[in-house]
Amino acid sequence: MQSSSRRAFLTGRRLPTDPWQAFCQAMRRSMEGPFYEFETVEGVGAARLTPKQAAEVHKARSLCEEHGVLFALDDIPAATRIEDMPVLWMDPGRSLGRCERLEPGGALWFVQPGCLLGELESAGLTAFADLPCHITVAAWLADRRLCDWPAGETFRSGIVHASVLLADGQAVSLGPFGEHNRKPLEGARLQRLIPALYQLSASDAAAACRQAPNWPARYRLDALKPIEGQDVNLAHLVLGHGGDLGWVEWVVIDERLAQPMVEPPYGSRFASARAADLGLFAQAGELDAGVKALFDPKGHFPHPGQDL
């Protein structure tokens, strides 16, 4: 049997010298979109991918899992850089930037993560007029400050459906759920995930957080307990997700529901110190740890503590 070094010599391919180089080599073989490797810092590698098609996102996630590389959304204004483990920064790019009505003259818009907020405004979604025009929909959805809706009022985002690539490689569709929408949860992953999230939302910690004037936790678990008159929409779980829970493949926005972001009724926009300021540090931390563990138990996405 030929050794691996013998085969590499005969085929003209150079074997990678370490796991990071093995990952980069696999990425270059698999991707059409631009892949850029940064200089290593104290032996820890980092790279960026701008995918040309959605399938490359799925492949990149798989390679990250195989090689022990963190899968992270790039260009989140409120996040620090990750320097303690190898990381692939995912830039949604222009190839994943569609923004179009689902039906001519209709109110529903299909939007991919690389679409810029300025493009949404130009298309007629005036709710985005006062938000940074240069950031992507992916960055908006991940930014906790820009998704800091009052507790129980996540419907103001206008998001009605979302497709999310989870840490285990499954893509799930999130949307209306509850007594006014009898559509069953599709797939075993959602059938386990959503009941567990509801159980977490029924905890004493969640009840304490709901009493706060501003939602104090990082993840919008309050989406499962909307204010009176509003129905549950599971897509709202991705609002302010920080890049920690999954990769949002696309969303559907209802222009009739989307409302301009306003300053929170009490205090400033979300910051990681809000829970402590409200005396709810332990309760918010319990919720955040619970949500993170349910979505990403093996830590393939960044840890929520990356907030500034």
pLDDT digits over 157-183, tens only?
Answer: 999 999 999 999 999 999 998 656 556
Residue 39 — pLDDT band, cuts 50, 70, 90? confident
Pair 137, 111: CB distance under 8 Å: yes
Three-state secondary structure call for residue 198: helix
Nearest to 242 by CA among 199, 288, 278: 288
> Between these two residues, 263 and 2, which has the higher pLDDT value?
263
Confidence of residue 137 (pLDDT cuts 50, 70, 90): very high
**What token pair was written down for 204?**
């004493």
Ranking 24-33, 73-82, 116-125, 267-276 by mean pLDDT, the lowest is 73-82
pLDDT higher at 4 or 147: 147
Query: Residues 270-292, buried b or exposed e (16+ Cβ, 10 A)?
Result: bbbebbeebebeebbbbbbebbb
Half-sphere exposure (CA, 13 Å, Cβ side) for 144? 29
The mean pLDDT value for 272-295 works out to 95
pLDDT category, 84, cuts 50, 70, 90? confident
Q: What is the pLDDT of residue 220?
A: 97
Angstrom distance (rounded) from CA 218 to CA 92: 23
Mean pLDDT, the chain, integer: 89
More confident residue, 272 or 173: 173
What pLDDT score was predicted for residue 5?
Answer: 46
Please tell me which residue, 187 or 164, carries the higher pLDDT value.
164
Res. 306: pLDDT tops 90: no
The dihedral region occupied by 240, where left means phi > 0, alpha psi between -120 and 50, and beta the remainder, is: left
Which one has a higher pLDDT value, 107 or 83? 107
Q: What is the pTM of this model?
A: 0.90
Q: Specify the pLDDT at position 4.
A: 46
d(Cα 174, Cα 111) in Å, to the nearest integer? Answer: 15
- Predicted confidence at residue 117, as pLDDT, reads 97
Give the pLDDT score at 162: 97
Per CATH, domain 96-306 is 3.90.120.10: no
pLDDT value of position 169: 95
pLDDT 10s digits, 109-129? 999 999 999 999 999 999 999
- Domain 4-94 indexed as CATH 1.10.490: no
**Nearest 10 degrees: Cα torsion 262, 263, 265, 267:** 170
Domain ranges within the chain, ordered by starting residue = 4-94, 96-306
User: In 156-263, where does DSSP find H-type helix?
Assistant: 188-201, 204-210
Whether the per-residue pLDDT at 308 is higher than 60: the answer is no
